[in-house]
Structure formats: C-alpha cells, structure tokens
Amino acid sequence: MPASSPSTLSMRVVQARELNPLIRLFRLQSADGAALPPYTAGAHVRVQVELPGGAQDWRHYSLVNFDERGDATDAPSEYVIAVRKEEAGRGGSRFMHERLREGDTVAIEPPKNDFPLHEGPGGTLLLAGGIGVTPLASMAARRCAQGLPVRMHYAGRSRELMAFLPELQAMLGGGLRVHSDAEQGAPLDVGAVLDDCPAGWRLYVCGPKVLLDAVLAQTGARGWDHDRVHFELFTTPEVEEGDHAFEVELAHSGQRFTVPADQSILDCLITNGCDPLYDCKRGECGVCAVPVIDGEIDHRDYVLSAREKAEGNVMQICISRAKGQRLVLDI
C-alpha cells in the first residue's frame, strides 16, 4: 500500500487544455470552493486514475507554479499539473489525456514533497529534461521570489514538445538556456552544463533516467558533494534488454510468485493480493525496501549506497530485479 494514506480531496477540473501533442495541462480547484492545502516548490499530488479494465490506481504529478509572490502557495485557490501522455504506459496518462474533461471531478491526495528546495542562501542550477520541467518551474519561481540567483537548463527533443517555454522565458530571461535535440543535432552536453555551474551552487535535476544517470556519473567524477546534487526521476521503469521472469518466495508465508519480465516485484505482489509498502515506484524514496534472504539482486535504484548494493541483503522491490532465477524475501 502507499506509504501513507492521507484523506483525499475532491477536485473539480476547471481547465484542461493541450500544451502540445504530448502534454496536457490541468487546473484543479476544490469541489466546494475552499482554499487548498499549502505546498512548497518541488511538491507533487497523487491523482486517482482509472486504468483499462476499470482498475483504479494513483499517479504522481508535480505542482506547477509561476507566481513569484512569496506567499503564492501558502493557501492556493488551485493546483496546476501538466501530464505527458505515455503511449507505452499502463494507462494512467491516457486516462488523464483522453477521459478527464473540464467539469469532471477527480480525487487527489494532499501535496507531498519528496524533492524539496533548499531554503538557505546561495545559487541554484536547475536542469530539466522534458516533462521534468514541472517541479523545477516552481523552484525557479521560489528562487525569484527570494531574490536569489537561479539558472535553468531545459532540454527536450524539440521546442514544439517542450512545455512552458514562454512562461520560463518571461520569468528567467537570460537565466534560461534551452536545448533542442532537433536544433542541435545531439543530446544536451551534461558535462558542459556542469562545468558552467558556479562553485557552491546547488544542482536540482528532474527528467528521464538517461539524463539522471549522466548527471550522477559526471558529478561523481568531478567529486561533487552528495548533498549538492538533488534529483527526481520523471519516468516509469522500463523493460531492459536481458530482463527475464523469475520466482519470488515470501519467507514468512511461503508464498511463491513468478515475476514476469515486464512487471516489477512490487506490482506482482500487489496483483497477487499482497499489501507491500511503497511510494514513488521509481527507486528513489526507499519506502519499498525489503530484506533479501537468498538470491542475487539486480540493483536499479537511486537509494542504496554502493556498499549496501554489494552486500546484497536489501533491495527496492519497485524497480530492482533478480539476476538469477529466484529471490527469497524476508517478508
């Protein structure tokens, strides 16, 4: 089950519009017109969606704010989210794009922030990839409200598929650097971005796995302190070459399940009626950590240290898998 189960809010969709062929914006207001719970830059809400076949699930969307007033998110009248359509996903984004309309009501959980912005002094470099721009836009607005130095590098496949460019340009001016793969003929040069980052500035990264992996590898190679680099992954786990089915045994109950190549251990357990703890489903938060009694782990998370991964006695079941044919979990 989700790590916590706060009471839900009933929200009315007051606006639903296409920003481009892939991204749809939603403005949500309380169904009873009341002021909404506060949030801070980097926060998200969970939205209840309906999957093909009628099953309900939750999806995590960052809250977007461009208001540079310092109290803009203290008692907001609306929440703004932007949803990228994932054709290869399980159906949550298709529900948001194809079925949710203006005037509809939808259940959400109150804001939660797993990607907080440091509130102290100093400069901030924001690095966004695709729809990962959403939490970073709110961070940029917050830094502008505080009068603190901020820059943003925003990368995407093409300008036509990048959301909020006019708003970011108006807010950041020369502090916004836009990279279009179509225009440049190559992906963003992460090394050049890092080399241009002033000493002592904090880095916040949000985007796809390939961007995050490149940033973590290159900041590590440069010897950047761990607490200088903050990140959130904006993608769902994908099937990788060589992924295979394997058996999972739950030591406490003796239950055994076969985890397909295209399903996580977490989703397999949920499908089979188990109730494991989880939150992000992307290997970032650590909530779904489970002790492992037997079997070799294929670690894919961003939580465990190299030492913990080498010891091989705990795993994040939302994203990591088995290298062999069997794992025994201490649950």
Q: Which of 95, 85, 214, 237 is nearest to 161 (CA)?
A: 85
Q: Which of 96, 41, 45 is nearest to 66 (CA)?
A: 41
Q: Grade residue 1 by pLDDT with cuts at 50, 70 and 90.
A: low
Cα–Cα dist 26/13, whole Å = 7
User: What pLDDT was estimated at residue 3?
Assistant: 54
94 pLDDT more than 70: yes
Residue 82: CB atoms within 10 A of its CB come to 20
Topology (CATH level 3) of domain 124-233: Rossmann fold (3.40.50)
Determine whether domain 246-329 maps to CATH 3.10.20.30.
Answer: yes
- For the chain, give every domain's residue range: 9-112, 124-233, 246-329
240 pLDDT more than 90: no
Mean pLDDT confidence for 131-146: 97
How does pLDDT run across 146-158, given as a tens digit for each residue? 999 999 999 999 9
Show the beta-strand stretches assigned E in 138-228: 150-156, 176-180, 202-207
For the chain, give the mean pLDDT. 93
Mean pLDDT confidence for 272-278: 90
User: What pLDDT was estimated at residue 4?
Assistant: 47
Taking CA atoms, 310 is separated from 22, 37, 55, 286, 296, in Å, by 40, 42, 38, 17, 10
Distance of CA 171 to the CA centre of its chain: 23
Cα–Cα dist 206/235, whole Å = 10
Pairing mode of beta strands 246-250, 326-329: parallel
Q: Poorest-confidence range of 2-11, 27-36, 143-152, 267-276?
A: 2-11
Mean pLDDT confidence for 117-146: 96
Mean pLDDT confidence for 211-239: 86
Using DSSP's 3-state secondary structure scheme, residue 247 falls into strand
Determine whether domain 9-112 maps to CATH 3.30.70.100.
Answer: no
How does pLDDT run across 18-41, given as a tens digit for each residue? 999 999 999 999 999 899 999 999
Pairing mode of beta strands 124-129, 202-207: parallel
Cα–Cα dist 274/74, whole Å = 38
Mean pLDDT confidence for 116-136: 95
